[in-house]
Structures are given as structure tokens and as C-alpha cells.
């Protein structure tokens, strides 16, 4: 092949690309620990902070079946963590592997490239190993509903729970709207108050 200026430039460029690829493979770019207030789009960072908010989907018994977004706060700002497909499933399993599950208030670390979506900074989690719990701080128990009828029940659209089958207010509830609790403590923890009629008639019904 005749070496003219064009071929020399092409050969030099090819060598540069090959050598650059080898260098990056042997010396991958390392993320830098940063504060949220200092990040910008394109940064490859490690962020440590507490979970401020988790967007979850629950089944009818309150079991978490999907996590769509986690908001981390490090005291200087907020950062959204999102995942898709297999990584989202792995994230859900990881969060549920703790008892109680990883939730708001727990201290975590996330690693990834900063992107911008709808004007907010976020990291799209592509590898479950880039998200880990550093410190469990929230030990509030996980609360689920009973799949079988109990004597503690309420309407899923109301805020009063009942404990007597003959409660006139409890009898008004539509069967398809009734939820059952394992304990009164569970009902109260979920923001329900005891029905005044049940409370006043509880001793007389025994």
C-alpha cells in the first residue's frame, strides 16, 4: 500500500483509537465521591445520603411489588435514583432482603453517571452493585394486611376501624371495600382510629 498523507493520517487515527480503548479498558474511569449540590450532568459520581422518599407500588395486602423511584438527600440537595427492567427487579429484591425492608431514613450509597430528566438530576441504576445500604436507621416494622378475615376491619376508603361484627357502622361497609388487619396496632400505625361505637360496646359484647 502506498503511504500517502491520507493513509498516514488514517493509520495514525486508527492506532490512537486502539491505544485509547486499551488504556480505558486497563484504566477505567473511577467515580468521584461528591455532594449533590456540586454535581452536574455527565459527572460519574458516588453519592452518600439518606433515603428521603420511595415511590412504591403495593398489592392489595400492602406487599411492595415495584419500586419506580428513590430520592436521596445528602443535606445539600436531592437526587433521583431510577432503574428499569432486570435491574429494577434486582433493586426490589435487594430492598426486601432486609427486615424491615430498606425504607425512608436509611443511609445508602449510589454510584453512576448523572443525567437530567424533567429538570431534575438523576442516576439511572444499570448495575445493582452500584446501590448499597450503608446503615440501617429506620427500624419501623413492615405492616401488611391480612388475606383472611379477622375481627379488626375497616373500609379501604375510610379512616375508622371496627372490632365488633354487630357494629352498625361496620355493617354498612361494602364487602369488596373491606380490609382486615392483623392487630389494632397495625390499624393505628396505618392512620386508622377505632370506631367509637365498637369502643363503647366492646366490654358489653364479651
Q: Is residue 24 part of a domain?
A: no
Note the pLDDT of residue 108: 98
Q: What pLDDT shows up at residue 206?
A: 54
pLDDT for the residue 91: 98
Does residue 13 lie in a domain region? no
Assigned domain for 140 exists: no
Residue 6 lies in a domain: no
Per-residue pLDDT reduced to its tens digit, 166-188: 999 999 999 999 999 999 999 99
Question: Burial letters for 127-151: b for 16+ Cβ neighbours within 10 Å, e otherwise?
Answer: ebebbebeeeeeeeeeeebeeeeee
What are the helix and strand counts (H, E) for the chain?
4, 11
Do 193 and 100 fall into the same domain? no
Q: Output phi, psi for 190, to 5 deg.
A: -90, 10
**Number of domains observed in the structure of the chain:** 2
Same domain, 38 and 128: yes
124 and 157 in one domain?
Answer: no
Helix (H, G, I), strand (E, B) or coil at 175: helix
What per-residue confidence (pLDDT) applies to 17?
Answer: 76
Beta bridge partner(s), residue 50: 73, 107
As given in the structure block, the three cell numbers for residue 176 are 369488596
User: Which residues in the chain come in under a pLDDT of 70?
Assistant: 1-8, 11, 16, 19-28, 204-206
SS3 196: helix
15 belongs to a structural domain: no
Is 105 domain-assigned?
yes
User: Residue 13's pLDDT is what?
Assistant: 75
Its domain, for residue 180, covers: 153-201
Q: Give pLDDT, residue 191.
A: 96
**Closest Cα to residue 91, out of 127, 144, 51?**
127
- Quick: pLDDT tens for 120-136: 999 999 999 999 999 99
Domain closes at, from 109, 135, 161: 135
Enter the pTM of the model. 0.79
> In which element (H, E) is residue 185 found?
helix 184-189
User: Residue 70: which CATH number?
Assistant: 2.40.50.140
Amino acid at each position: 500500500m502506498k503511504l500517502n498523507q491520507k493513509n498516514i493520517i488514517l493509520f495514525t487515527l486508527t492506532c490512537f483509537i486502539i491505544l485509547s480503548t486499551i488504556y480505558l479498558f486497563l484504566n477505567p474511569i473511577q467515580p468521584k465521591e461528591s455532594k449533590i449540590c456540586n454535581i452536574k450532568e455527565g459527572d460519574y459520581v458516588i453519592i452518600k445520603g439518606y433515603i428521603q422518599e420511595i415511590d412504591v407500588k403495593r398489592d392489595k395486602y400492602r406487599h411492595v411489588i415495584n419500586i419506580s423511584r428513590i430520592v436521596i438527600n445528602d443535606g445539600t440537595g436531592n437526587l433521583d435514583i431510577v432503574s428499569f427492567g432486570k435491574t429494577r427487579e434486582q433493586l426490589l429484591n435487594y430492598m426486601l432482603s432486609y427486615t424491615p425492608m430498606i425504607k425512608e431514613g436509611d443511609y445508602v450509597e449510589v454510584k453512576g453517571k448523572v443525567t437530567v430528566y424533567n429538570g431534575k438530576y438523576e442516576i439511572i441504576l444499570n448495575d445493582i452493585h452500584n446501590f448499597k445500604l450503608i446503615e440501617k436507621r429506620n427500624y419501623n416494622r413492615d405492616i401488611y394486611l391480612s388475606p383472611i378475615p379477622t375481627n379488626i376491619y375497616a373500609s379501604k376508603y375510610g379512616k375508622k376501624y371496627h372490632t365488633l361484627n354487630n357494629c352498625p357502622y361496620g355493617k354498612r361497609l361494602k364487602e369488596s371495600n373491606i380490609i382486615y388487619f392483623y392487630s389494632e396496632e397495625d390499624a393505628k400505625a396505618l392512620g386508622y382510629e377505632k370506631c367509637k361505637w365498637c369502643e363503647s360496646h366492646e366490654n358489653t359484647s364479651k
